[in-house]
Amino acid sequence: MKSTLLLLAVAGAALLSVASADASNAQKQHDVNFLLWKVNEHLRDEKHKEYAKTFDPEADKSHYSDNGEAVHRLMKELKDNRLLQQKHWFSLFNDRHREEAIMLFDVFMHCKDWETAVKNAAYFRDRMNEGEFVYAVYAAVIHHPLAEHVVLPPLYEVTPHMFTNTEVIQEAYAAKMRQTPTKIKSTFTGTARNKEQRVAYFGEDIGMNTHHVFWHLEFPFWWQDSYSHKLDRKGENFYWVHNQLTVRFDAERISNYLEPVEELHWDKPIHDGFAPHTSYKYGGAFPSRPDNVEFEDVDGVARVRDMIIIESRIRDAIAHGFIIKEDGSHIDIMNDRGADVLGDVIESSLYSPNAQYYGALHNTAHIMLGRQTDPHGKYNMPPGVMEHFETATRDPGFFRLHKYMDNIFREHKDSLPSYTFDELNFEGVHVTNVAIDGTLETYFEDFEYSLLNAVDDTEEIADVDIDTYVPRLDHKDFSYNIEINNEKGSETLATIRIFAWPRQDNNGVEFSFDDGRWQAIELDKFWVKLSPGNNNIVRKSADSSVTVHDVPSFKTLMEKTEAALSSGGDLDLHEFESATGLPNRFLLPKGNQNGMEFDLLVCVTDGEADAAMPDLHTKDDFMHYGVNGVYPDKRPHGYPFDRHVEDERIFEQVTNFHHSHVKVYHHGEHIHHHD
Ligand SMILES: [Cu+2]
């Protein structure tokens, strides 16, 4: 989601004046499509080819808002032959790789007009590592105001190796050699002997993986405000997006009769091993890890001891209620801002007030986990799945790591005072009934995507379709039917927050309210105007503001773009502009045959007091994880269940909340819609 606010506030007059002479949406979409199409091969667009050959990035510095500083820096690295070679793996967690990718991103961000950006992209695509190039283009399209309406093609069709099993990729290469159109079945990794396989559909879902990548692109840990603006509540968003992955994964586990994830401990073995069955396009297979590996120090990264020290410094800060800044002064965290500061500290991002002291618990832990197969670099293994946002959730270790960090956040949140009746009460507003129209029912459906960009080819031979199909969790459409009585006597702006959590654990033991609420899954959040008297609000599951819809396939995107270009018509891909958010398919946890019980909480709070911007009740696609310069909801993420519940009766006493029980069914049917 690109920001218009941001465009006005930061980019200023210079940008607006060139924007009028700017390329059309269809032209921009065409350029991005072709820059990312077959990214490991040569450029295919004639104009781009010409740019790559003849453009001199430093010839006219007036096209850059920094007078060509960023491009000069990158050109110097190129001329000095310091850049990572092509046809080599790329990892964001490799400091040098990341530095190079960001240098290119920095060039894009300083291009004052679209054409200059495209010329640079074509030029550097021919000369830089492909992984770095893709990363820089994705980050720039997300953050550059000039790319506001550009839709990024599905990442699993741009770099299919990062999403697809090795066996399937090998078959794709064979199909390409034979020039035979092929549809290949993909299955999840592991076997029935491994109970973790029961939830592999979650960690290996290509849409969920894309969501994870996109979130980290919207809120990069390497972000500096000088690129354009401050990322609002970045640290708190970090906590929340991973909290939601953690609690959702546990709900999937309970759906499949598995115990919730155990948190990771540095001084205990990593119980579950992992065989990724995934390979780099260049650089061989992702390393596997056997069961019950003891953590070892990783050369050049960290000692296990360092991790424990960093953790205890963070826990100390939580116990003290303040973070110590680099200059020795204190930041109070005993308030709603606390989680934001802690998020910056724990990830850590460049927003961390003291990375020297608190380290980078999350990022370092990702690398530590990723390297346990070859901690001393004896076997020259490439980075593990944990070192890529695309692949990290495939490893059950990911969820153990995030449970561990989530518990640190909980320690902080639980140290804050509970909400009181007066804080939660919305005087004169009563939720009188909540019903579900339709049934809460999930199923698996096969989904097809193209592997064309995985295989090598030549321009002379025409493409044949090479696709794979993979089962994905989805749910039937349903609506919430909410009755609200407004006694205020005038129109009232209200926020509606919908949460659900599993009623019982995998042994059938009921969760206490306080444990249940910490596992609250955010299903939706929206603003409405309540009329005086009775209001009947019907909210569709498809409209959930925490989810996004599937982006069209790369092929469809290209066809639509070319059709718009040749007819001179408009290209409106508005609904796909932001891919940050869980796939809507994942709104409901899988549930089970008997109906898995959930507590359903509908909370209506004061919209006037909550809203960080006007007219939220007229917007339907504002939310996700919040960018646009300002996060729309002033309340903390997870409100009102983010704090320790001292006395759950309060939640039954406030009439603006509604608590009921619902069941989510899964009948095991599997819908195939390929040939
Ligand atoms: Cu993450």
The CATH number of the domain holding residue 518 is 2.60.40.1520
Domain closes at, from 123, 150, 177 = 150
- What is the CA(243)–ligand 1 centre distance, in A? 10
Q: Is residue 639 part of a domain?
A: yes
Give me the pLDDT at residue 56, please: 98
Q: Is residue 442 part of a domain?
A: no
- The C-alpha atoms of residue 633 and residue 616 are separated, in whole angstroms, by 9
- What is the CA(389)–ligand 1 centre distance, in A? 6
CATH number of domain containing 396: 1.10.1280.10
Q: Is residue 480 part of a domain?
A: no
Q: Tell me which residue range forms the domain holding 221.
A: 189-415
- What is the CA(502)–ligand 1 centre distance, in A? 23
| Cβ pair 76, 70 in contact under 8 A | no
The answer on 388 and 531 residing in a single domain is no
- Is residue 674's pLDDT more than 70? no
pLDDT tens digits, 261-308: 999 999 999 998 999 999 999 999 999 999 999 999 999 999 999 999
Domain closes at, from 150, 179, 199 = 150
Does 348 sit behind a cis peptide bond, omega within 30 degrees of 0 on the bond before it? yes
CATH number of domain containing 114: 1.20.1370.10
Q: Is residue 174 part of a domain?
A: no
- What is the CA(273)–ligand 1 centre distance, in A? 20
Q: Is residue 449 part of a domain?
A: no
pLDDT tens digits, 152-189: 999 999 999 999 999 999 999 999 999 999 999 999 98
Q: Is residue 299 part of a domain?
A: yes
The tokens of 200 are what?
Answer: 């592999």
Q: Is residue 181 part of a domain?
A: no
The answer on 128 and 195 residing in a single domain is no
- The C-alpha atoms of residue 347 and residue 345 are separated, in whole angstroms, by 6
- What is the CA(609)–ligand 1 centre distance, in A? 31
pLDDT tens digits, 395-422: 999 999 999 999 999 999 999 999 999 9
Alpha carbon of residue 385 to chain centroid: 16
The answer on 403 and 529 residing in a single domain is no
- The C-alpha atoms of residue 449 and residue 156 are separated, in whole angstroms, by 8
- The C-alpha atoms of residue 508 and residue 514 are separated, in whole angstroms, by 17
The answer on 199 and 336 residing in a single domain is yes
- What is the CA(34)–ligand 1 centre distance, in A? 29
Neighbours of 460 (CB within 10 A): 5
Q: Which amino acid is at 104?
A: L
The answer on 111 and 211 residing in a single domain is no
| Cβ pair 254, 506 in contact under 8 A | yes
- The C-alpha atoms of residue 664 and residue 596 are separated, in whole angstroms, by 5
Domain closes at, from 359, 381, 415 = 415
Coil, strand, or helix at residue 26? Answer: helix
pTM for this one? 0.94
Considering the chain, what is the average pLDDT of its residues? 92
- The C-alpha atoms of residue 45 and residue 1 are separated, in whole angstroms, by 27
The answer on 305 and 224 residing in a single domain is yes
Q: Which amino acid is at 331?
A: I
The residues facing 472 across adjacent strands are 445
The answer on 389 and 433 residing in a single domain is no
End-to-end CA distance of the chain: 36
The answer on 146 and 67 residing in a single domain is yes
Cα-based distances in Å from 217 to 134, 490, 651 = 12, 43, 37
- What is the CA(589)–ligand 1 centre distance, in A? 20
The answer on 122 and 79 residing in a single domain is yes
Q: How many domains does the chain have?
A: 3
The answer on 645 and 496 residing in a single domain is yes
Q: Is residue 648 part of a domain?
A: yes
Q: What percent of the chain has pLDDT over 70?
A: 94
- The C-alpha atoms of residue 341 and residue 610 are separated, in whole angstroms, by 21
Alpha carbon of residue 592 to chain centroid: 27
- What is the CA(212)–ligand 1 centre distance, in A? 6
The answer on 357 and 245 residing in a single domain is yes
The answer on 391 and 253 residing in a single domain is yes
Sign of CA dihedral 107, 112, 113, 114: positive
